[in-house]
Amino acid sequence: MPQPAPQRKAQRQRRRTIGAAPSGLEPVQGLFAVRYRPTAESAVAGALRQLGSVRHLEPHHLLLVELPDTEREAAAVRKLRAWHRDGQVDFFTPVLRDRQTRLLRILTDEITVRFKPNVPARRRASIQRKLGVNALRQNEFVPSQCVVKVSQPTGLNTLKVARALDQSPDVQFATPNYISEFRR
């Protein structure tokens, strides 16, 4: 039985505000987050320091890299792609700024997904394989909800995958996980 029009409209609005579309976020020019492998930290940080300023976010194995111009940014992206291929960097992504609060957000390689309750496990696995994600952990209170890891999270790909999940008829919602700046 089709949903009533007001319910469909509310669902579309929810997807725009909660889902993968980061309507209130914008990339910060020249600012990247890099998740490095612990064994590659000093080499990656040292090479990026030659191109711009580097700040460590220790508990997350992240570097915030600020690059002063587009030429250095292009050089950094070339190096980051090579390191990603070689397994020294898990991912790198532009840092985003919330337009309303002006706080920074770093896109991670994780997405929180809630499947509709009647979706069988086989169908969930098929959707995950198709989009290149792997289930990391299940919500112990909501069995149809889990956190998935994106296999190719570089750039803004996590947003694209979250958007694709969110648009699936088998999914209630999908939203990327961020590391967010906090101020009191």
148 part of a folded domain? yes
Helix (H) or strand (E) holding 12: helix 5-17
Cα separation of 119 and 30, whole Å?
Answer: 42
The verdict on 84 and 128 lying in the same domain is no
The verdict on 74 and 113 lying in the same domain is no
**Domain boundary residue, one of 98, 128, 145:** 98
The verdict on 94 and 111 lying in the same domain is no
1 part of a folded domain? no
Question: pLDDT per residue over 112-162, tens digit each?
Answer: 999 999 999 999 999 999 999 999 999 999 999 999 999 988 889 999 999
Q: How confident is the model at residue 16 (pLDDT cuts 50, 70, 90)?
A: very low
The verdict on 34 and 83 lying in the same domain is yes
Cα separation of 65 and 75, whole Å?
Answer: 13
6 part of a folded domain? no
20 part of a folded domain? no
* Residue 173 clears pLDDT 90, i.e. is over it: yes
The verdict on 88 and 113 lying in the same domain is no
The verdict on 89 and 132 lying in the same domain is no
2 part of a folded domain? no
- Among candidate residues 94, 115, 98, the one with its CA nearest the CA of residue 166: 115
**Domain boundary residue, one of 70, 98, 126:** 98
Question: What is the residue-wise DSSP string for 95-144?
Answer: EEEETTT--EEEEEEEEEEEE-TT--HHHHHHHHHHHTEEEEEE-SS-TT
The verdict on 115 and 152 lying in the same domain is yes
pTM of the model: 0.80
Number of domains in the chain: 2
**Number of helical H runs and strand E runs in the chain:** 5, 8
- Domain range enclosing 163: 107-180
19 part of a folded domain? no
CATH code of the domain containing 150: 3.30.70.80
**Are 165 and 20 a contacting pair, CB within 8 Å?**
yes
Please give the pLDDT value at position 3: 52
* Residue 36 clears pLDDT 70, i.e. is over it: yes
- Among candidate residues 71, 69, 79, the one with its CA nearest the CA of residue 40: 79
Per-residue pLDDT, averaged over 21-31, amounts to 81
90 part of a folded domain? yes
Please give the pLDDT value at position 59: 82
The verdict on 141 and 162 lying in the same domain is yes
Question: pLDDT per residue over 67-112, tens digit each?
Answer: 999 999 999 999 999 999 999 999 999 999 999 999 999 999 999 9
Length of the chain: 184
Cα separation of 173 and 137, whole Å?
Answer: 16
The verdict on 137 and 112 lying in the same domain is yes
**Are 99 and 149 a contacting pair, CB within 8 Å?**
no
The verdict on 54 and 117 lying in the same domain is no
